[in-house]
Structures are given as C-alpha cells and as structure tokens.
Structure 1
Amino acid sequence: MDISHILNELGEDRSLYFNAVAPPIVQTSNFVFDSFEEIRKAFEDEDSAFLYSRGKNPTIEILRKKLAALDGAEDALVFNSGASAIFAAVLANVGAGDHIVSVDKPYSWAWRMFDNMLPRFHVKTTYVDGTRIENFEKALTPETRIIYLESPNSNTFELQDLEAVAKLARERGILTIIDNSYSTPLHQKPHAFGIDLSLQSATKYLGGHSDTVAGVLTGKKAMLNKIFNEQLLNNGSGISPFNAWLILRGIRTLQLRLEHISATTVKVIEFLKNHSKIERVIFPFDDDFPQISLAKKQMTGACGLFTIVLKAVSHEQIERFTYSLKHFLVAVSWGGHESLILPQAAGMAPGQFDPSVEKHRMARVYVGLENAEYLIRDLDQALSVL
C-alpha cells in the first residue's frame, strides 16, 4: 500500500463527517443503540462496535487503520503511553512460573516491569547480549514464553538479527515482541522479518510535535483482540480521542520530517566526527558502527538519534558544555521538532563521575527540524568551552 495513501486517505470516509478534510475529534464517552440486537452484539465483542470510548472510538479507529498499514500488520492498538503498550503486550502473554528472555539494557520502564513487578507473580527474566543469536538460544528454558527485543536500543544502539531471532522463536513456540520506537515503520518493518508484536512510543516521531503521549502495538488480529479484551479494556490504558487526533495530525508529515531530520543528522555527525573534543560518535548508519551491515539489512534509515563520547575529565566540564548550548534543549525523549541533548552525567552526582568510564562521558543527541548549519554553529561554540 502506498505510504501517501496510508497517511492521507486510509480510513477516512469524509462523507460520514460533513466532507471535512480533517477527521473530527469524536469527544464522547458513550454511544447509543437502536435495538437490543445491536447492544447485545457490542457486549459480546466490544472491538466490533462503538460502545464506550474506553475501548473503541471513531477517531481512534482511523488512527488504528493507518498504523496497522504502516507496519504491514493486520491490526493496531493505541495506548495512552509507550509504557502501557509494553505492559499490555507482555502481561497478556505470561502467567505464573513463565520465563522471559530480554535484550540487555531495554527501555527503563520495560526492565522495571521485568525486575520489579513480574517477579511478584513468579515470572522471571533473563537478560542477554542481543548482538549474538546464540545468546538467545542459550538463555531459553522450557518455561520461556516471550523474547523481548529493542533494535536498535535508544542509547548505544545495539541491534538484534530480527530474522534469526524470529526463526528461533517460531521453532520453540515463543512469542517475539520488539520495541521499534527508534526506527518507526518507515525505517524498519519488524513483521516482515517474522516478529509477532511490534510496539512504538508514538510520543516520538509519530506525534512529532512533543505535545502528546501515546503508544502503539501492531500484530495479528487474533492476538490484538486478546490484548484488547484482557489488557486494554481492563486497565483502561487506551488513548483519548483528542490525543489520537494529535497523532493523526502528526503522521501527515511523518515522511517529510524524517527525511529532513535524516539529512540534517548526516551533516551534524560529519562535523562532530571531525571535532577535536569528540572521542567518537555512535550511530547505526555510521561506517564505524560495529553492526553497520545488519543495520543496512534491516533498516532503511536511522534518522536523528545518536550518542557522542566527549573528551572530558570532569562532571563540571560536561555540565558547562551542556548549558552552553543555546538551541539544544536538555530533556528526555526525542522525535519532536526540537533538538535535544541528554548527557549520562546528568543522572549522577559529581562525585560519582569517573572519566575513565566511557559511559559517563556519553551524551545522547537528538536532531530536530532545525537547519544543519544552525545546529552545527551551536555545537561548535559549546564545544569550545569544554
């Protein structure tokens, strides 16, 4: 299906809403019925009818169709955060005594669930270096129900061989889940490699304007219907109509934004790699990246998130550099219009800083929609005071 059709037309029947170009926000909690038969069917399958906006809503339905098509999936669910999408995908598929194999260093709210919540229900998690398929194979047990992936991750960008992991999991009857927030469906389609469930933080590139929080989960219709009924409805973790409308607005320009950000990122990285105050740059599509071949096999682009290692000897140096930047905001997340920076040192006390530890000198950089020359001038002047 053509991406222009998905972003601009799919799911939009304008004759239903006064021929308006933009679909309306159907800001209602409740829906009425014309017969007992209609309401009985809605009770039997809430995902087949508009009953209550906690579950199904016309504005959200348009977004679901677009997101499923972008991922090449049968169906999509939209949650009130990326963390909710992770929680629902995992909780719907494990029970007491089960086992999960996860990549090392997943998103913080994933590992907090694995380490803090699931053990209370006797679900164990084993973390592995996901860059080697044999590490997954060695970690599997008869109780393993899920392999959890994040490729690339959002800090040092290690990848997993999605095709190899999916094949291993299918042979053992194990469900695969991937966090695809870094790449978006425009740059990586996990279902094409055999991954069962693909999730994203829609807060980031899909929304694109840093004004809403949401999560997406895509996969087979039967699996998503199970998650809809067992998790989304019970937890009340669905997205609101207004936030769904904001994501709809955001994805109109998704392709253009990613193209601009990608082109700018290449120029910014080229500048940084040649700067005397930068030890190295970590970016999946950089020629020096250890997994560059796998990145180009699985991904069509890497967009705006990368990490720099600063040549710094103190916590104070990194803080001075960070707050000398005039056009990079110091904040978490990424994917919006604004450029961001988040040094590892920001999360530690000055006395904890050790310049011999490379991680302590790392700073994650996100390139937004500003022009390359504008951002390069800002980085140059800030690095001069490092």
Structure 2
Amino acid sequence: MKLPTRLIHNRSGNPARRTVNPPVERASTVLLPDREQLYNAKPGYGRMGLSVHRELEAAMCELEGASDARLTPSGLSACAVAIASCVSAGDSVLLSDSVYGPTRRFCEKRLKTMGVEAQRFDPRNADGLVDLIRPDTRAIILEAPGSLTFEISDTPRLTSIARERGIATIMDNTWSAGVFCQPLALGVDISVQALTKYVVGHADAFGGAVMTSDARYAGAIDDLLEDWGISLGADDAYAALRGTRTLSTRLHHHQASALKLASWLQEQPLVSDVIHPALPSHPDHEFWKRDFTGSSGLFSFVLQAASNHEVDAFLSALEVFELGFSWGGFESLIIPCDEQLTRLPGDWTGDRNGWLMRVHAGLEDTRDLMEDLDRGFAALANVKNT
C-alpha cells in the first residue's frame, strides 16, 4: 500500500507562511476572544489537542480507512480506552489468548475492579468463541497477528458473529501499522495502534491511536478521554506525524528484511520453528493472504536451547541485534519470550522444542543481521558441545 498523496501533503496553518509540517503548539491555555467562545470553542483547552494533533488524527483516519481517530499517550492507553469505552459494571469481555500482555493484564486486573469480567478464547477457534458468549458480553478483543506467537484469527468470521449479537469488536493493528491491513474493512468496530512502534518509527516517542467509523463508538471514546483526562503531548504527536510521511517506505524495507531472515532461519539446524504469517508454513497463512497486503518486520522463531545458560550464550554473542522491549524502530531487536508467556492450558506452547525468540528486523543490511545470528548460533553450538 502506498501512502495517499493527501496524507503526505496534508498541510494547514497561516496561508501567507506555509510550511511542510504544521506548527507544534506547546500550550495548555488557549486564548479566546469572548465569553461565548470561552465555553464553546473547540478546542478551548490544550489538552484536547491543537494543530499537530488534528493533522495526526487525519493521517490515522487516512491510513485506517476510518472517519474518526483519537490520540492517547501510549499503545496500552489506546487499548484501555477502546475497551473501557464499550463496557460498564456488570458487563463481560472476551479477549484472544494471544493479545498483547499488558492489554490482557488490563482486562483481567483493572476491568475486574470496575465490575467487568474478562475471559480468554483460543484465537484459532471461532466456533469455540460462540460457546463463550454470554448475555452480558459487550466486547471481543483481537490482535492480528497475536503478540509473540503470531496467530491470525478468522477476523471476518469473528466480527460477523459479534455483529449478529450486538457485541463490539476491537483489534490491535500495530503490527501492520495500517499500511498492510485495515481492520475496519474486515468488520472490526474499533482499530487500535501503538504509534510508539512503526508510526513514530525511531524509538524516541510514545503514542496511541483509536480509530472507528461508527459514530456511537466515536462518541463513547470522546467522552472517556474527556472524563479520564487522557491526552497526547504536542512533541510526541509531532514525532508520530513525521513518522507517517516515511511509514510505507520503512515498512516495505522491514518486510523484505524480515522475510529474508525468516526464510534463512528455516534452514538453520538450531532453529526448530519459524513463526511468520507470510511464510506458507504458517498455519494461518491463508488468512494472512486474505486479510493483509504485506507483512512487517516482527516475527518469532524457536531456538533449540535447553537452558538459561544456552540462551544466554546465544544472546551474548550478538553484536548487531540488541535486547530491548518495544519494536518498530530502525534498530534490530531480539528478546526471549518464555517469561512473558501466560497462556491457556493445552495451547501450542506446551509442544515447543526450545525457547521462543521474538525478532524485529530493523533497517540494517540483512546480510549483517544473518552474520550476527550466525555468531549466536556458533556460540550456542559451542556450549552444547562442551
């Protein structure tokens, strides 16, 4: 997907002094001309967002095919806002077992204190989801691909099941960044992104966005943001808007590099599995081909390491890949995921032959990344042989 020219050239401001980017207004107070404007102007206060916020919201609508977008300070806050805007005390939600860990924590811990019950479902079992729906179910929470383990649900089927029962569907679309997937076109009611990842793209700012084309959900999201006092700072909004200008170009590089790495990893003797939805070997590959137009730089593989000592030997030998949370920037990252995996009993994680490693392929030369992983494999093999 190429970014629309309108998105790249979306400019406003003083017509006598046009600039490529909108001004960054670092302001809490907005000065207004009279009493009527004081209580009716939008925005009447900086927390509601100013020029750069409106431009970023317009860009996110363009990316996601939405009519309404609202901004939050982080990806997790965007997920929390989307979910909380759909529920009240006495309701329940269903969430995919493979969603982002902090989102799962919010649902199972924080929503509980608000009188809302959360229950997980198998992301690959649409029929099983039907059996879990209750009269008080108000929202179904998805992520595609799933965090860490990269399952692709049958999203159109799940959204059809939800719509027939008047249940809202929310999907975390951070992996595709809106470039390779538009959840609203698949029937999802609310799409969420962590702008911190690919939209910002330089690992130097935070942000989240919540998108919808349904006026009911848009109004509920607006009310919640106002009541909870949630807003995104002007400088972070500017960093995210700047990132949208190069988003498609960067995503295509991440995609190409990750696919080369994933295919190469499939041939390595110390790798027992590569988990990338764009590979034909992935169990949900057909869903990926139907719902996505491309893939990003994030995927996982299973390293044949039997102990902490072996994993540490592999990681310590790496010189290009760094250990660090988040992803989506120019730098390549790798993390062992086992300590984060808290999944339903009996899922695929019980059958693994090794440690789950998540990779983000950055913008470095792919040959350098392969050579770096080779260093890790050599160190692992050396430990295994001693």
TM-score normalised by structure 2 residue count: 0.92
Q: Letter of the aligned partner of 1:9 in structure 2?
A: H
1:369 to 358, 363, 380: 363
2:294 maps to which residue?
301
> What residue number does 1:147 align with?
140
Shift of 1:22: 2.1
CA distance in 2, matches of 1:221, 1:30: 31
Counterpart residue number, 2:352:
358
CA distance in 2, matches of 1:203, 1:242: 13
Q: CA deviation at 1:16?
A: 4.4
| Post-superposition offset of 1:168 | 1.1
Gaps of 5+ in 2: 342-348, 381-386
Q: Which residue of 1 aligns with 2:118?
A: 125
Match of 1:34 in 2: 33
Distance 1:214 1:146 in 2: 23
Q: CA deviation at 1:4?
A: 3.4
Q: Structure 1 residues 6, 223: CA separation in 2 closer, same or farther (over 3 Å shift)?
A: farther
Paired position in structure 2 for 1:20:
19
Q: Could you say which residue in structure 2 is the equivalent of 1:252?
A: 245
Counterpart-to-counterpart distance in 1, 2:277 and 2:222: 37
Q: Structure 1 residues 17 and 160 mapped into 2: Cα distance closer, same or farther (>3 Å)?
A: farther
Report the equivalent of 1:46. none
Residue 209 of structure 1 corresponds to: 202
Distance across 2 between alignment mates of 1:4 and 1:328: 33
Aligned-CA RMSD value: 2.0
Residues 219-269 of structure 1 show CA distances to partners (whole Å, capped at 9, x for unaligned) of 026245424542212222211111000001111110110111111112111
Q: Distance in 1 between matches of 2:138 and 2:52?
A: 34
**Aligned residues of 2:69 and 2:212 also touching (Cα < 8 A):** yes
Is the alpha carbon distance of 1:217 and 1:376 closer, same or farther for their aligned partners in structure 2, counting shifts above 3 Å? same
**AA in 2 matched with 1:358:** R
Separation (CA, whole Å) in 2 of partners of 1:384 and 1:346: 24
1:308-327, aligned counterparts within 5 Å?
A: 308-327=301-320
Q: 2:98·2:123 contact (CA, 8 Å) conserved in 1?
A: no
Give 1:105's aligned residue: 98
The aligned counterpart of 1:379 is 373
Q: Distance in 1 between matches of 2:91 and 2:353?
A: 33
The SS at the match of 2:141 is strand
Report the Cα offset of residue 15 of structure 1: 3.7
| Structure 1 range deviating more: 167-176 or 17-26 | 17-26
Instruction: Name the structure 1 match of 2:346.
Output: none
User: Deviation string for 1:357-382 (max 9, x for gaps)?
Assistant: 62861110110000111111111121
- Secondary structure of the 2:46 match is coil
- Using a 3 Å threshold, how does the CA distance of structure 1 residues 16 and 316 change in structure 2: closer, same or farther? farther
- Contact 2:212–2:218 at 8 Å: present in 1 too? no
2:171 corresponds to 1:178: yes
Percent identity of equivalent pairs: 32
Aligned AA (2:327): W
Q: In terms of mean alpha carbon deviation, does 284-293 or 213-222 score higher?
A: 213-222
Farther-moved stretch of structure 1 (202-211 vs 111-120): 111-120
Q: Give CA-to-partner distance per residue, 1:286-311, whole Å, 9 cap, x none.
A: 11100100110001112111111111
Moved over 3 A (4+): 14-17, 345-348
Normalised to the residue count of structure 1, the TM-score between the two structures is 0.92
